[in-house]
Structure 1
Amino acid sequence: MEYENSKRARRIAPKNKYLISSYLCQVFDTMRDGLYITDSNGDTITVNEMYENLTGLKAEDIVGKNVKELVESGVFDLALNSKVVATKKSATAVQMTNKGRKVVLMAHPIFDYDEDVEMVVTFVRDIALISQLKEQVVAQKQLINKYKHEIQQNNESLYRSTSPVMVELYSQIERVAKTDATVLLLGETGVGKDVLAREVHEKSDRKGHPLFKVDCTSIPENLIESELFGYAPGAFSGADSCGKPGMFEMADKGTLFLDEIGELPLSMQSKLLRVLQNSEIQRVGATKARKIDVRIIAATNRDLEEEVRQGTFRSDLFYRLHVAVINIPPLRERGEDVHAMLHFFRQQFNTKYKRNLKLSAKVEEAMLNYRWDGNIREMENFMHSLAVTSHDDRVELRHLPMRMLDSSDMQCEPGQIGLDFDDVEGKDLKTIMAEVEAKYLLHAIERYGSTTKAAEKLNVNRTTIFRKLKKAGISSEDMDK
């Protein structure tokens, strides 16, 4: 103990010890907790300003007096000094003062060189404030749970739809999640394999335990073994002296999601096979294996059967993984879902960036006809881009990239102009044709993004378009809208 005290004393530079002792009371007054210091006999040595504020008691009324005397006279109803001195351990209690204030006491012993209690330092806190903090913590937890629920609902809204394909897919997830079988998610890049892996975990009996994701493409080959299986103390140069658990150990009792498993090196495939067969792992540099309880969810955009034929993926591992296989269809095969997803992402980014972005009917038509080769990820990123780069609140065809327009089935056909018989009743043919021509030209301007580009596509002079539209009563301002 003498060594410890001298060690602590060395934390203060010798020339500053007098400075600190001279201003110690002022140092105490900077504390946000109330402070009450007594000697081993219970005589009050000092209190700080916060103590006075919390209890309503004044320093001049208690400093120099014994806590037992103060209790007997009713200044406060209890003191912890005698208990701390007797047990040499910290103690906690709730105290009521004669000012009607209720506070929490946390008393701690200060020892001398003989390990006897020299002083008792008591920190004092307002019980009402502690209750308020507890309420705030509860409120924060409720808010976090609310956000988690909303996030889960948002994720589900991307997949729960009335389309037969997705109804069957989600039904399959519900069935598989209740088992402990290894799950293999197959699908193109961007279809949402990581979201569905989370859904499987959340609907399983392991939902209260961790879910860890490992991207097999992002970890260098020379590090992936130690990342997955961990390493023993001193396993290699630069290794932590205490060793390190791997992802399998950290996911014990939970789920490990191996994304892009088709990228896993052959040497690691054999080690993963051992985990699936024996439910045990061995750290790098260790001599003994240890049991683990982890559910594996794997995902890939590769054709694993073809990889097996080419010898780049182990056949025995393929069969081990090929238990509960879920094929996630690309977005282009889920036409009924595209419209709902467009509006989901539009609302999401409108909320995030305080926008009021809307899609014109022609833009929606172009997007519905687009292939979305990047699937949900491409759509999400594209809608994000519109939300942060578009100056207008209404998205028109001119805002879309050419790949989206060129791949769509939308063409500037007269049948899409939108002229019906009610519009032409009582008009002569010349007037009708002028209106049809004007509507067609406006459609072309919107389709190609500008009057100049429309003129090039239609092989006419730009001034001809202006003249014809002006004749139909359409001003140049209307053309720019």
Structure 2
Amino acid sequence: MTINFWDNPYVEKLHKEILEVLSEGIYVSDAYGRTLAVNHMYEQLTGLKREEIVGKLVTDLKKEGSFDAILNPEIVISGQHKTTVQVTKTGNRVLLNGYPIFDESGKVILVLTFVRDITLMSQMKDQIVEQQEIIEKCRKVYVQNKGGLNNNFLIFKSEKMIRFMELLKKIAKTEATVLLLGETGVGKDVLSRKIHEYSLRRDEPFLKIDCSTIPENLIESELFGYDSGAFSGANNKGKIGLFEMADKGTLFLDEIGEIPLRLQVKLLRVLQDQEFMHIGSTKVKKVNVRFIAATNRDLEEEVQKGNFRSDLYYRLRVAVLEVPPLRERKEDICEMMRCFLDKYNAKYRKEVSFTKELEKALLTYKWPGNVREMDNFIQSLVVTNENEILDVPDLPHYMLLNPVVPDQSGINVSDKSLDELVADYEKNLLKKALALHGSVAKVAKILKVDRSTVFRKGKKYHLL
């Protein structure tokens, strides 16, 4: 016998229209477990029709396989709210939240169950987790780069670098794309951070990607990000790219000359239109990013060779800053060597100092690796030498044989003559030989000279 829910005296005030306007599925049963009513949303969420279940006991419906879990009996007995996950015969997974409804005497007369789509809730949970991961990643990058901005200081006093920095500050205050040119190790990374620091975007993220160190097949996903299932091995949640993470901030493309040709046209679109698409997506995303690019390559030559797109090259050449190499600013060499020496003395708790002769020798060296080479070299001197006062013989021989070459004016910028350089090399060689072999006789035999020669030169250089 089918029960007419709307004739039930306990629920006569609960109109059908009220159930139907609710955005959640509703399942109403009485204290005996008989199904009294469901709304249309319940039918949609579970795949079950009201004519299949209304009037039937929830226990019978469970036995028949209409669904695998019920709340009514527990709630009627306990009089308390219960929650469980239910799978219907159509395979739909739903979350049940059951609540008791009492009469005047406190007896449970109805059980009202709210039904929600657990699949949608799981998706929303995944989205929230993903968004939290993105926010945390952005926060870490932001904090890291804010720290990087504070820790990257410039050391200079030369007129050439003073003029360079004045121009850099002027350009930084604009929104122009910047192209930093210069040899390896001149400090393009530090200068890119300075541009950001002096810009109106200083409080926004600064992100960097080194195009020379990331495999070609990964650069695109790092820059553009991808949607779920975009390619084999992709994260099933997708991935946010650096363009999105740098939104409203600055993105530094280091070694831009290494970026693959097939990606250059996509990069050009982002530079021009400030829009892009995830890999595997057709949805266009807009960003607001200031770009800084750097390279030690001759991009004009790369364009002629067909290795770099001319349209991208000209788009990058909006504001060009060419960083002078270290050998062209000798005043900065002195400042840097003293600064790095203080830095590593403090780090390794030492009190190493340089003689005037050693400082002059460092001035004559070409420094092909520029600031990076000097930083690492001074650290090496402090770490590997036991002496507190370092002199020319403590330098590696290649530094004494590699003085600064004449500049374009034809004037030799070296402070030492050939005789002086040869003497320095000879002194360094004898010092190391005596330290290694311990006696004049052994050194004379190895160098194939008379012992008197070794003794005389040792006295000359104050080694004996």
TM-score if structure 1 supplies the norm length?
0.58
Structure 1 residues 153, 279: closer, same or farther in 2, change over 3 A?
closer
- Which amino acid in 2 is paired with 1:449? K
SS at match of 2:373: helix
> What is the CA distance between 1:221 and its match in structure 2?
1.1
Contact 2:397 2:428 in 1 (8 A): no
- Which amino acid in 2 is paired with 1:466? F
In the alignment, the residues of structure 2 paired with residue 326 and residue 297 of structure 1 have an alpha-carbon distance, to the nearest angstrom, of 11
1:340 is aligned to 335
Deviation per CA, 1:60-116: give whole Å up to 9, x if none.
xxxxxxxxxxxxxxxxxxxxxxxxxxxxxxxxxxxxxxxxxxxxxxxxxxxxx979x
Gaps of at least 5 residues in structure 1 are 1-112, 116-144, 417-439
TM-score if structure 2 supplies the norm length?
0.60
Which one of 289, 295, 298 corresponds to residue 290 of structure 2? Answer: 295
Contact 1:412 1:443 in 2 (8 A): no
> What is the CA distance between 1:154 and its match in structure 2?
6.7
Question: Any residues of structure 2 matched to 1:363-382 within 5 Å, and which?
Answer: 363-382=358-377
SS at match of 2:400: helix
Which one of 243, 250, 267 corresponds to residue 248 of structure 1? Answer: 243
1:462 is aligned to 451
Residue 314 of structure 2 is aligned to residue 319 of structure 1? yes
> What is the CA distance between 1:479 and its match in structure 2?
2.3
> What is the CA distance between 1:215 and its match in structure 2?
0.4
Question: Any residues of structure 2 matched to 1:14-413 within 5 Å, and which?
Answer: 155-158=152-155, 160-161=156-157, 163-408=158-403, 410=416, 413=419
In the alignment, the residues of structure 1 paired with residue 424 and residue 274 of structure 2 have an alpha-carbon distance, to the nearest angstrom, of 67
> What is the CA distance between 1:449 and its match in structure 2?
2.9
In the alignment, the residues of structure 2 paired with residue 444 and residue 382 of structure 1 have an alpha-carbon distance, to the nearest angstrom, of 22
1:47 is aligned to none
In the alignment, the residues of structure 2 paired with residue 454 and residue 157 of structure 1 have an alpha-carbon distance, to the nearest angstrom, of 45
SS at match of 1:245: coil
SS at match of 1:248: helix
1:27 is aligned to none
In the alignment, the residues of structure 1 paired with residue 199 and residue 456 of structure 2 have an alpha-carbon distance, to the nearest angstrom, of 68
Deviation per CA, 1:184-206: give whole Å up to 9, x if none.
00000000000000000011111
Contact 1:232 1:243 in 2 (8 A): yes
Structure 1 residues 266, 464: closer, same or farther in 2, change over 3 A?
closer
1:60 is aligned to none
> What is the CA distance between 1:362 and its match in structure 2?
1.4
Contact 1:359 1:395 in 2 (8 A): yes
Residue 422 of structure 2 is aligned to residue 449 of structure 1? no
Contact 1:304 1:313 in 2 (8 A): yes
> What is the CA distance between 1:391 and its match in structure 2?
1.2
In the alignment, the residues of structure 1 paired with residue 239 and residue 245 of structure 2 have an alpha-carbon distance, to the nearest angstrom, of 10
In the alignment, the residues of structure 1 paired with residue 162 and residue 424 of structure 2 have an alpha-carbon distance, to the nearest angstrom, of 42
Structure 1 residues 233, 329: closer, same or farther in 2, change over 3 A?
same
Contact 2:400 2:425 in 1 (8 A): no
Structure 1 residues 457, 293: closer, same or farther in 2, change over 3 A?
farther
Deviation per CA, 1:416-464: give whole Å up to 9, x if none.
9xxxxxxxxxxxxxxxxxxxxxxx9999535753566997999962334
Contact 2:357 2:391 in 1 (8 A): yes
Contact 1:261 1:299 in 2 (8 A): yes
SS at match of 1:222: helix
> What is the CA distance between 1:397 and its match in structure 2?
1.8
- The count of residues paired between Structure 1 and Structure 2 equals 308
In the alignment, the residues of structure 2 paired with residue 380 and residue 176 of structure 1 have an alpha-carbon distance, to the nearest angstrom, of 28
> What is the CA distance between 1:242 and its match in structure 2?
2.1
- Which amino acid in 2 is paired with 1:479? L
Contact 2:169 2:195 in 1 (8 A): yes
In the alignment, the residues of structure 1 paired with residue 425 and residue 207 of structure 2 have an alpha-carbon distance, to the nearest angstrom, of 51
Q: Percent identity, aligned pairs only?
A: 51
- Which amino acid in 1 is paired with 2:455? F
In the alignment, the residues of structure 2 paired with residue 467 and residue 224 of structure 1 have an alpha-carbon distance, to the nearest angstrom, of 62
1:65 is aligned to none
In the alignment, the residues of structure 1 paired with residue 244 and residue 325 of structure 2 have an alpha-carbon distance, to the nearest angstrom, of 34
Contact 1:445 1:454 in 2 (8 A): no
- Which amino acid in 2 is paired with 1:388? V
In the alignment, the residues of structure 2 paired with residue 231 and residue 464 of structure 1 have an alpha-carbon distance, to the nearest angstrom, of 73
1:479 is aligned to 463
In the alignment, the residues of structure 2 paired with residue 154 and residue 457 of structure 1 have an alpha-carbon distance, to the nearest angstrom, of 49
Contact 2:400 2:424 in 1 (8 A): no
> What is the CA distance between 1:384 and its match in structure 2?
1.0
Contact 1:260 1:299 in 2 (8 A): yes
Gaps of at least 5 residues in structure 2 are 1-97, 101-142, 404-413, 435-439
Structure 1 residues 442, 168: closer, same or farther in 2, change over 3 A?
closer
In the alignment, the residues of structure 1 paired with residue 234 and residue 454 of structure 2 have an alpha-carbon distance, to the nearest angstrom, of 74
In the alignment, the residues of structure 1 paired with residue 307 and residue 428 of structure 2 have an alpha-carbon distance, to the nearest angstrom, of 50
> What is the CA distance between 1:399 and its match in structure 2?
1.5
SS at match of 2:217: coil
